[in-house]
Amino acid sequence: MARFAAKHLAFLLLTLFVVSFLVFALNEFSPGDVARKELGAYATQDQVEALTKRLGLDRPLLVRYAEYMGKAAAGDLGTSARYKAPVRTVIARHLANTALLAALAFACIVPFSMLLGVAAGMREASRLDRAILLFSTVMASIPEFALGVFLVSVFVVWLGWLPGTATLVAGGGWSVGAQLVLPVTVIVLFDAGYVISMIRASMVEVMQRPYIRTAVLKGMPFRRVILGHAVRNAMINPITVILLQINYLVAGVVVVETVFAYPGFGRMMLEAALFKDIALIEAGALVAVGLAVLTNILGDLAYMLLDPRIRA
Amino acid sequence: MSAPVTAEVLTVSPPATSRRQAPRWWRWLTAIRRSKPATVGAVIILAWILLAALAPLLAPYAPNAPDLAALAHTAPSRAHWLGTDHLGRDLVSRILWGARPVLLIAPLAVLGATILGSLLGLAAGYRRGWIDLVVTRACDIVLSFPVIILYMIILAHFGSSAWNIIAVLTLTKAPIIARIVRGLTLELREREYVAAAKMRGESALYIMLVEILPNARGPLIVDMCLRTGYNIIIIGVLGFLGIGLPPPDPDWGGMVKDTYGMMMVWPHMALVPCAAISSLVIGFNMLAVGLRELGLRD
C-alpha cells in the first residue's frame, strides 16, 4: 500500500515536471523571443539584446527553468501582459469561475450518467438499452460548440427563455443563475454521453458474472441484485473515468466558455495563447498539470476504496 | 476511408465454412448490414465522402465568392438553398468544400496515430523491460494532460496549418492506441503461433508485425472509427477557437466561429455547419458502435 502510493506520487511529480518543462522550453527556447515579445515588433535588435541580458534570459534553459520553478513554488508567477495584473490573481479569478461551472456540471453528470448507464447495462440489448445507447452515442458525437449553437437557437433565439451569454455579471434582465443554465447543460450532455457508455459497458460485463446469476437463481429480487451486487462492482472501472472528468471540466471546457463568453480558466488560456502572454501560458499550464495530477491521485484513492483487492 | 474500415469487419467474423465463398466486398457489405447502427453510420459517412469528392461538380457557387446582392436577404432561398453567410458566400458550396479538409485530415491523423501507437505498443508489450516502462509512462503523461490546452499552446506558437494539426493529433492520440495495442500484445505473445515463429527463428520485428499485429486489429478497427469521429470534433473545435485551418477556405468550425455572434439575427449561418459536423461525427460513432456489436456477437 505505502509502496503503491509512493510509486504513484513519484510518477505524478514526474508528470508535473515533464509537462511544465516542455511548455517552458517551447516558449523560452530561443532567448530573444521573450524580450522581443515584451518590447514589440518595432524595438531594435540592440534593445532586444539589452533586455535579454538584463532579464538573464541568455543563461541556459535548465537554469532558468529551475529558477522559474523555485519562484513558482514561492508563489511568484510573474505578471500577465494581456491582463496587466499579477498572474496569480488572474489565474485565481478565472479558476474560481471555472470551478463554479465545473462543480455544477459534475453534480449533474454523476447521478445522471449513473442512472442511465446502470439502467442501460442491466439488461443488455433491451429496448431501454438501445434507446440509451443511441442517446449517449449521439450526445457524445455533437461537438460542444454545435450543441451550444443548437441550444442557443432554441432557448435563446426562438423561445427567448434564457440568455445567450454567461458573463457572470447580472444584466439585461438576466440573473447569474439563468446565465449558468445553458453552459452547464451543454457540458453535462456532452460529457455524460461518454460517461454513460463507460458505465453501461462495465455494467454489462458485471451482469454476466457468476455471482449475479447465483443471486438471481436463489430468488433475490432483481432490484436487490442490481443495487446490492451489481452497481458497486460495476462502478469500479468507471470511477477513474468519472474522476478524470474533473480534469476535463476544469481545463477542457474552453469551448463552452468561448461559446457563452464565460470568464473562465479555459478561455483565459486561449487568450493567453493567442496573445502570446508567456507568463500566463506557463503558469496556466503548470496549474492545469497540477490539477491533472491531483485528479489522478483522487482517482487512485477512490479505486482503492471501492476495490479491496487492490489494497494488498 | 470507409472502404478499409469495412474491409476489416471480416477479421472479427469466424472463418467462413462454406465451400464456395461469395466475393469479398459482398461479405463486407453483408457483415455491416447485420448491424443497424453500423449500416446507418456507414451510409452517413459514404454520403459525406461522395459529397466531398463531387464538391467541384455539385457546388452551385465558388466557395469563397461573395454574392453581394444576396447580403440583403441571407436566409435560405431558391438561389441559395441554405442561405449565405455574413459575407454573402453560398453556404451549400462552403459546406461541400468544407467537408474535404475534414475528411482528409481526420483519417490521416488517425492513420498516423495508429501507426505510431501500434509500433510503440508492440515494442512495449513484446519486449517488456525498460521500453515498456518508458512507453507506458510517456503515454500516461500525455493522457493525463487536458490536451486542448496543449493544442492551444502548440498551435498558437507554431501557427496553424493542416500538417501541424495532423502532427499534434497524431502525437496526442498515439498514446491511447499504444495502450490498447500493448494490452493486446501482452495477451497474444503467449499464443502458440508466436512460440512457433520463435522456434522457426523469425526476427522479433517479423513476429510483432506479421504474427501479432494482424491478430490485434479487431479492437483497433473499432478504435480507429471512434478516433476519426473525435478527430473531426477536435478539428471543428480548433476552427471554432480560431486556431484551426487558416481562412478564407471553408472550414466547418471556422464558419461557426465567424457567425455565431450573429445568431440572434441570422441563426442559420451557424446552424448549418454545426449540423454538418454533428452528422458526420454521428456517422463515425454509429459505425464504431455497430462494429463493436458485430465483433462481440461472433
Nearest 5 degrees, angle CA A73-CA A95-CA B240? 120
Q: Is the pLDDT of residue A12 over 80?
A: no
Tell me which chain B residues have a C-beta less than 8 angstroms from the C-beta of A270: 152, 241
Instruction: Render pLDDT for B234-245 as a digit per residue (tens, 0 to 9).
Output: 999 999 998 888
Q: How many CB atoms lie within 10 A of CB B96?
A: 24
pTM score: 0.84
- Which residue of chain A comes nearest to B280, CA vs CA? A141
What pLDDT score was predicted for residue A208? 87
* A296 touches B: beta carbon within 8 Å: yes
Interface contacts A/B by beta carbons within 8 Å: 133
Q: How far apart are CA A169 and CA B238, in angstroms?
A: 28
Q: What is the ipTM of this complex?
A: 0.83
CA R_g for chain A: 24
With an 8 Å Cβ cutoff, are A273 and B37 in contact? no
Nearest beta carbon to residue B278 from set A133, A146, A157: A146
Interface test with A, best of B134, B152, B171 (most A CBs within 10 A): B152
Identify the burial level of B233 via C-beta atoms within 10 angstroms of its C-beta, where 0-12 means exposed, 13-18 middle and 19 or more buried: buried
Tell me which chain B residues have a C-beta less than 8 angstroms from the C-beta of A134: 37
Backbone angles phi, psi at A80, to 5 degrees: -80, 130
Core vs surface per residue A193-211: b (16+ CB within 10 A) or e? bbbbbbbbbbbbebbeeee
Nearest 5 degrees, angle CA B1-CA B6-CA B9? 145
Q: How far apart are CA B183 and CA B121, in angstroms?
A: 8
Q: How far apart are CA B113 and CA A52, in angstroms?
A: 39
What pLDDT score was predicted for residue B1? 37
CA distance A220 to chain B (A): 29
Instruction: Render pLDDT for B13-69 as a digit per residue (tens, 0 to 9).
Output: 444 454 566 776 777 778 788 888 889 999 999 999 999 999 888 888 888 877 777
Q: How far apart are CA B145 and CA A284, in angstroms?
A: 12
Q: Average pLDDT in the A24-39 region?
A: 71
The rounded mean pLDDT for chain A is 83
Which are the contacts of A75, defined by CB distance < 8 A and separation ≥ 6? A88
Q: How far apart are CA A298 and CA A246, in angstroms?
A: 10
With an 8 Å Cβ cutoff, are B236 and A266 in contact? no
With an 8 Å Cβ cutoff, are A285 and B149 in contact? yes
Three-state DSSP class for residue A185: helix
State how far the alpha carbon of A189 is from the alpha carbons of A184, A196, A205, A229, B23, in Å: 9, 10, 24, 28, 43
Q: In this structure, what C-alpha cell is assigned to residue A231?
A: 452497481
What pLDDT score was predicted for residue B223? 84
Nearest beta carbon to residue A255 from set B240, B281, B285: B240
What pLDDT score was predicted for residue B250? 87
DSSP state of B216: G
Top-confidence residue, B167 or A250? B167
Instruction: Render pLDDT for B183-215 as a digit per residue (tens, 0 to 9).
Output: 888 888 888 888 898 888 888 888 888 888 888
Identity of the amino acid at B210: V
- The alpha carbon torsion through B220, B224, B227, B229 (nearest 10 deg) reads -140
Top-confidence residue, B259 or B48? B48
What pLDDT score was predicted for residue A22? 84
Q: How far apart are CA A90 and CA A247, in angstroms?
A: 20
State how far the alpha carbon of A218 is from the alpha carbons of A177, A213, A221, in Å: 50, 9, 9
SS (H, E, C) A144-181: HHHHHHHHHHHHHHHCCCCCCCCCCCCECCECHHHHHH
Q: What confidence tier does B298 reach under pLDDT thresholds 50, 70, 90?
A: very low
Tell me which chain A residues have a C-beta less than 8 angstroms from the C-beta of B154: 26
- Which residue of chain B comes nearest to A294, CA vs CA? B144
Tell me which chain A residues have a C-beta less than 8 angstroms from the C-beta of B229: 141
Q: Average pLDDT in the A224-243 region?
A: 82
DSSP state of B60: S
Three-state DSSP class for residue A142: coil
Tell me which chain B residues have a C-beta less than 8 angstroms from the C-beta of A293: 144
With an 8 Å Cβ cutoff, are B144 and A247 in contact? yes
Identity of the amino acid at B120: L
* A299 touches B: beta carbon within 8 Å: no
Nearest beta carbon to residue A153 from set B148, B152, B267: B267
Q: What confidence tier does B12 reach under pLDDT thresholds 50, 70, 90?
A: very low
- Which residue of chain A comes nearest to B234, CA vs CA? A143
Tell me which chain B residues have a C-beta less than 8 angstroms from the C-beta of A137: 37, 282, 285-286, 289
Q: What confidence tier does B140 reach under pLDDT thresholds 50, 70, 90?
A: confident
Tell me which chain A residues have a C-beta less than 8 angstroms from the C-beta of B149: 251-252, 254, 266, 269, 284-285, 288
Question: Which run of H or E residues covers position A85?
Answer: strand A85-86
* A255 touches B: beta carbon within 8 Å: yes
